[in-house]
Amino acid sequence: MDDLLAEFLAETRETLDALSGEIIAWEADPSDRGRLDAIFRFVHTVKGSCGFLDLPRFETLSHAAEDVLAELRSGTRTADAALVSAVLAIIDRIGELTEALESGAELPSGDDGLLIAALSAEANVCPITGAAPHVVQTANKAPARSIRVPLELLDRMMSGVSDMVLARNELARRLREVGAEQEVGGAFERLSTCLADMRDSITRTRMQRIEKLFSALPRMVRDTSAELGKTVDLDIDGSDVELDREMIELMRDPLTHMVRNSIDHGIENAEVRRKRGKPEAGRLSISARQSGNQIVIEIADDGNGIDEGRLVAKAIANGVITQELANALPPAARAALIFSPGVSTAEQVTAISGRGVGMDVVKSNIERIGGSIELDNRPGFGLRTTIRVPLTLTIIASLTVSAGSQSFAIPRSAIEEIVHVSSASIRIDTLGDATVATIRGRALPLLHLEHVLGTGHVDEVTGRTIVVVSAGAGLSYALCVQAVHDHEELVIKPASPAVMGAGVYGGMSLPDSGVPMLMLDAVGIAARAGIEPEEANPIAALTQDAAAETGPELTSTLLFHDLAGRRRGIRLGVVERLEDVAADRIAETAGRLRVAIDGRLLPLLGCEEGLPAGAMVKLLRLSDGASELAFAIDDVIDIVQLPPAMHHATSEGPIAGVALVQGEQVELIDVFWLFAQADAAPVREERPLCLLADAEDRWSREILRPLLEAAGYRVGFAGESVEAQADVVIAGGEPVAAGAAPVIRLRPDMAGANDGSVYRYDRMGLLAAIESQVAKRRA
């Protein structure tokens, strides 16, 4: 009995999938006898089986639908939109019941009587407006012979074949070693060919026709356009293209989203279309084709396209880009702004689309499966979206690279280009401890793979190769590797949690060499190396422009959001650089906020309204030529040229005045005040304590002590009560009581012993040693 039920449910579900397209096609052409018959057969079968299986609700529903369809077949009634909706409602309910029974859930409640009443000729229940879309082409094919096989079995077959391939490789090696006879070689060749064929067909068993994805579209287009009162002709092509079944599932949401967007935002209503001289019915065409080892899915409509002006304005308003960047954007990049998070062009949020989570999610979903998405926007005439995805998830086209003594794979979809370091088109600059590669005018952060992975040190870039990797929107970097080996199609498997936990791998593969290879995750590598999207970190590129353009009248000013989110400006001349530091390196020590950078302590300003949340803090490092301080900000906006005129502040404080920047008021930071604050004397009790080990020594008391006090330290002597609070102990050769504080040894002779001691009249050396020990201790 259970077997029978399961069989019935599976069959019903499959027929339902196939049927939804038929119904829409039938509505478009009610005289199409073939489609009416197909629908009739379905409800008839359901009715027959469920009577037998004792499923009364199924029976009532299918019975009612069968009656109506029989009337239509005999010609006593004709189909109209209301009737088709009513039949659809019945079929939907049957679908819901099927799903509930299959998952063992409680049967959904709902009055079947209402649905049945809607079928009657006099019924006037919920009239649904909008005409049905015409399905131009929906192939009516006889179902291929098939059986159901559990996926796990297919996976086992796949891994079995992979085992055989490896065994063949080993056999090939052995045969070469022993120098086998020609006949053996021939037989071996035949075996290899068979094996390759078998591998191919088993790979294909995991494939499904994209029809499975497309069959739901006519119904969706009909419902969506009816809801919006629009008329849409749907044209589907290429349903017989095959795609990995997992891929089909992953494509479902993005495709649904794109189609809804097209109908909701793209295609205009009938009135507008008439005015623009377009046919009243909008046209939506969806096609799939195979191109090499990729599947290309195109979604094209003849609607309004994307309003680029409004999109750019929205992106600026939402802080996605700045006005300057927007002005410089090429047209193609303007439409692509729709993929930025938090941008949606619809003026009103509708139930269909425009909820603000939209195209950015679509793009990231597609990129996650190794695909890409492109827009061809013709404002006023329509939008064509091209989605490319690999044939399967498990076989990924990859590039093999080596770093240190090891090989790694990089998914080819993440690679923009490969250049040799010696190529004339690139330049490599070192900025502090960071390296930038400029490739044909485009500056990219340069990473050595060995450094990212911590497997070695690279001093010399000569002879190495740069792989330009794109890790998603605006996040590209130059990955420098020892060598690039091969393009290969690799079977990628998920790695164990212990390996994935490293955060830089996307999976692993077993190439023919028999040594496992890890696949790098482009996004993980970027995160590991602390690279940020280009837009978010424009300072590097913009500084150069600004420096080149400085005129006699203008002051280069860096605009930024401070921690409270206000737009502020600071003279670029005092900004040494922009730096990200870990939040735990900031602490309130010695009476003020300080940040430990590069083994030094810098006063930290800009946090008057509280410390920033989050693990990383953006800092501007400011310098007046002699001393340095850090200023915490939220984000850099831009660099602008300002005339010296500004409205001065009414009182002394952090703000020097106000300037007008692009029509907005921007407060300019008073740099003088800032440095004056930073050098203000810290609270006395909070000064670091230097403990001098020899309380009796005259030199310590009379010479060293005043020096230390002048340098801003407290001084105590061994044996005093403050001993336990010491931040650093200064001693000569004498033994020191073991404590927690670090010890600095002084030596009386200038000639250096190599024991880390400091010559006692080396003022700079001594103060530096104390400072670094204190900084280490307090950091």
Partner 1 sequence: MDKLYLIATIAGQPVAIHASLVESVVDLGAVAPVPLAPPHVAGLAALRSKVLTVICCECSLGFAPTGRGTRRAVVIQLDGHHYGLVVGSIEDARVIDEPPQPIRARLEPGWARIAIGMLEYDGEALLLIDPERLIAGPDEALAA
| Token duo for residue 372 | 């890409």
**CB of 732 vs partner 1, minimal distance in Å:** 39
Verify binding: residue 577, partner 1, rule CB under 8 A. Answer: no
Shorter beta-carbon distance to partner 1: residue 81 or 510: 510
In the list 505, 631, 675, 713, the residue contacting partner 1 (rule: CB under 8 A) is 505
- Least gap, CB of 500 to partner 1 (angstroms): 9
Q: Roughly what angle, to the nearest 10 degrees, separates helices 151-178 and 182-205?
A: 160
Query: Where does residue 425 rank: exposed (0-12), middle (13-18), buried (19+ CB within 10 A)?
Result: exposed
> Would you say 493 or 585 has its CB closer to partner 1?
493
Regarding 406 and contact with partner 1 (CB under 8 A), the answer is yes
Find the binder of partner 1 among 498, 645, 681, 764 (CB under 8 A).
Answer: 498
- In the numeric block, the tokens 């330290």 are attached to 713
Interacting residues with partner 1 between 513 and 552 (CB under 8 A): 514-518, 528
Site string for partner 1, 155-174 (x = CB under 8 A): ----xx-xx-xxx-------
Q: What are phi and psi of 630, to 5 degrees?
A: -115, 145
Residue matched to tokens 């419902």: 223
For β-strands 406-411 and 635-642, DSSP reports them as unpaired
CB of 509 or CB of 537, closer to partner 1: 509
Q: How far is the CB of 496 from partner 1 (least distance, A)?
A: 4
Pairing of strands 600-605, 592-597: antiparallel
CB of 767 to partner 1, least distance (A): 39
Q: Which of 495, 529, 619, 639 binds partner 1 (CB under 8 A)?
A: 495
C-beta of 512 vs 598, nearer to partner 1: 512
Nearer to partner 1, 505 or 631 (CB): 505
CA pair distance 448, 482, nearest whole angstrom:
9
Shortest distance, CB of residue 449 to partner 1, whole angstroms?
A: 9
CB 731 within 8 A of CB 693: yes
User: Could you tell me which of 167, 638, 161, 202 has the C-alpha nearest to residue 392?
Assistant: 202
Contacting residue, 502, 582, 616, 737, with partner 1 by CB under 8 A: 502
∠708-710-714 over CA atoms, to 5°?
Answer: 50
Query: Residue 695, Cβ neighbours under 10 Å: how many?
Result: 13
Asked if 13 is part of the footprint of partner 1 (rule: CB under 8 A), the reply reads no
Q: How many CB atoms lie within 10 A of CB 107?
A: 11
Distance CA(178)–CA(687), nearest Å, equals 80
Give all strands (DSSP E) within 35-95, no chain letters: none
What is the footprint of partner 1 within residues 439-458 (CB under 8 A)? 453-455
In whole angstroms, the minimum distance from the beta carbon of 329 to partner 1 comes to 37
- Residue 199 as a binder of partner 1 (CB under 8 A): the answer is no
Told to check if 504 binds partner 1 by CB under 8 A, we report: yes
Residues 101 to 160 in contact with partner 1, rule: CB under 8 A? 159-160
What's the closest the beta carbon of residue 483 comes to partner 1, in angstroms?
Answer: 17
* φ, ψ for residue 693, nearest 5 deg: -70, -35
Q: Return the bridge partners of 407, or none.
A: 402
Among 503, 530, 719, 733, binds partner 1 (CB under 8 A): 503
Minimum gap (Å) between residue 505 Cβ and partner 1: 8
Considering beta carbons, is residue 518 or 708 the nearer one to partner 1? 518
Closest contact distance (angstroms) between CB of 406 and partner 1 is: 7
Q: Which is nearer to partner 1, 455 or 725 (CB)?
A: 455
Asked if 733 touches partner 1 (CB under 8 A), the answer is no
Can you tell me which of 132, 217, 383, 508 binds partner 1, judged by CB under 8 A? 508
For the CB of residue 471, give the shortest distance to partner 1 in the complex, in Å. 17
The DSSP output letter for 118 is T
Helical H runs in 206-339?
211-214, 217-228, 245-261, 270-275, 308-317, 323-328, 331-335
Q: Which stretch binds partner 1 (CB under 8 A): 29-37, 293-301, 479-487, 504-512?
A: 504-512
CA angle, residues 659, 661, 662, in degrees to nearest 5: 150
First to last CA, the chain: 73
Residue 479 near residue 467, CB atoms below 8 Å:
yes
Binding track over 350-379 against partner 1, x by CB under 8 A: ------------------------------
| Three-state secondary structure call for residue 267 | coil
- 3-state secondary structure at position 561: strand
The DSSP bridge partners found for residue 489 are: 397
Give the residue, chosen from 499, 527, 554, 767, that forms a contact with partner 1 under the rule CB under 8 A.
Answer: 499
Three-class secondary structure of residue 239 per DSSP: coil
Nearest to partner 1 of 425, 455 (CB atom): 455
Comparing CB distances to partner 1, the nearer of 494 and 643 is: 494
Q: Please state, in angstroms and rounded to a whole number, the distance separating the CA atoms of residues 73 and 77.
A: 8
Of the candidate spans 46-54, 502-510, 592-600, 618-626, the one that interacts with partner 1 by CB under 8 A turns out to be 502-510
Rule CB under 8 A: is residue 510 a binding residue for partner 1?
Answer: yes
Select the residue interacting with partner 1 from 143, 432, 441, 497 (CB under 8 A): 497
Are the CB atoms for 251 and 297 separated by under 8 Å?
A: yes
How many residues belong to the site for partner 1 (CB under 8 A)? 31
Closer to partner 1 by Cβ: residue 117 or 499: 499
Instruction: Tell me how far apart the alpha carbons of residues 255 and 253 are, in angstroms, rounded to a whole number.
Output: 5
Tokens 């001993």 belong to: 723
- Nearest distance from C-beta of residue 67 to partner 1, angstroms: 51
Of 290-298, 510-518, 599-607, 731-739: span binding partner 1 (CB under 8 A): 510-518
Instruction: Name the minimum Å distance from CB 530 to partner 1.
Output: 14
Tell me the backbone φ, ψ of residue 205, rounded to 5 degrees: -65, -25
Interior angle at CA 520, CA 516 and CA 524, nearest 5: 140
Q: Please, what is the minimum distance in Å from the beta carbon of residue 199 to partner 1?
A: 12
State the Cα–Cα distance between residues 619 and 636, nearest whole angstrom: 10
Handedness of CA 72, 75, 81, 83 (dihedral sign): negative
Question: Cβ closer to partner 1: 498 or 626?
Answer: 498
Residue 53 or 172: the one with the smaller Cβ distance to partner 1 is: 172
Q: Token digits for 719?
A: 């044996």
Note the residues at the interface with partner 1 (CB under 8 A): 159-160, 162-163, 165-167, 406, 453-455, 493-499, 501-505, 508, 510, 514-518, 528
